[in-house]
Amino acid sequence: MHKATIWLTFLLNACASTAAYRAPEVQVPTAFRERLDSLAPPARPSPDAVPTAAADTTAVGEYWRSLGDTTLIRLLEQALNANYDVRVAEARIRGARASRLEAALDFVPTVTAAAGYTRQRIAAASFPVGGGSFPDQDVWDAGFDASWELDVFGRIRRGVQARGALVGAAEEDLRNVQVSLAAELARVYFELRGAQEQLAVAQRNGENQRRTLQLTRERLEGGRGTAFDTERAQTQLSLTLALIPGFESSVAAAQYRLGVLVGRPPAAVAGELDSIAPMPPLPATVAVSAPDTLIRSRPDVAAAERRVAAEHAFVGVAKADYLPRLNLGGTAGFTSDEFGDLGGDGTFRYAVGPFVSWPFLNLGRVKARTDQARSLEAEARAQYDQTVLQALEEVESSLVAYRSSLGRVEQVREAAEASARAADLARLRFTGGVADFLQVLDAERTQLETENQLAQARIDASTSYAALYKALGGEPVR
pLDDT in tens, 152-210: 888 999 999 999 999 999 999 999 999 999 999 999 999 999 999 889 888 988 888 88
Domain assignment present for residue 335? The answer is: no
pLDDT at 233 over 80: yes
Confidence of residue 15 (pLDDT cuts 50, 70, 90): low
- The chain-wide mean pLDDT, for the chain, equals 84
Is 137 among the domain residues?
no
Which CATH number do you get for residue 295? 1.20.1600.10
What's the structural domain count of the chain?
Answer: 1
Residue 51 inside a domain? The answer is no
Q: Classify residue 115: in a domain, yes or no.
A: no
pLDDT band at 226 (very low <50, low <70, confident <90, very high): confident
30 located within any domain: no
Q: Higher-confidence residue: 439 or 15? A: 439
**pLDDT above 50: residue 339:** yes
Question: Which pLDDT score, from 0 to 100, does residue 55 have?
Answer: 35
Q: What is the mean pLDDT of residues 365-389?
A: 93
Q: Structural domain of residue 100, as residue ranges?
A: 56-107+164-323+382-472
Question: What is the 3-state secondary structure of the chain?
Answer: CHHHHHHHHHHHHHHHCCCCCCCCCCCCCCCCCCCCCCCCCCCCCCCCEECCCCCCCCCCCHHHHCCCCHHHHHHHHHHHHHCHHHHHHHHHHHHHHHHHHHHHHHHCCEEEEEEEEEEECCCHHHCCCCCCCCCCEEEEEEEEEEEEEECCCCHHHHHHHHHHHHHHHHHHHHHHHHHHHHHHHHHHHHHHHHHHHHHHHHHHHHHHHHHHHHHHHHHHHCCCCCHHHHHHHHHHHHHHHHHHHHHHHHHHHHHHHHHHHCCCCCCCCCHHHCCCCCCCCEECCCCCCCHHHHHHHCHHHHHHHHHHHHHHHHHHHHHHHHCCEEEEEEEEEEEECCHHHCCCCCCEEEEEEEEEECCHHHHHHHHHHHHHHHHHHHHHHHHHHHHHHHHHHHHHHHHHHHHHHHHHHHHHHHHHHHHHHHHHHHHHHHHCCCCCHHHHHHHHHHHHHHHHHHHHHHHHHHHHHHHHHHHCCCCCCC
**302 pLDDT higher than 50:** yes
In this prediction, residue 2 carries a pLDDT of: 54
Please indicate, yes or no, if residue 158 is contained in any of the structural domains: no
More confident residue, 126 or 194: 194
2 occurs within a structural domain: no
In a domain, 144, yes or no: no
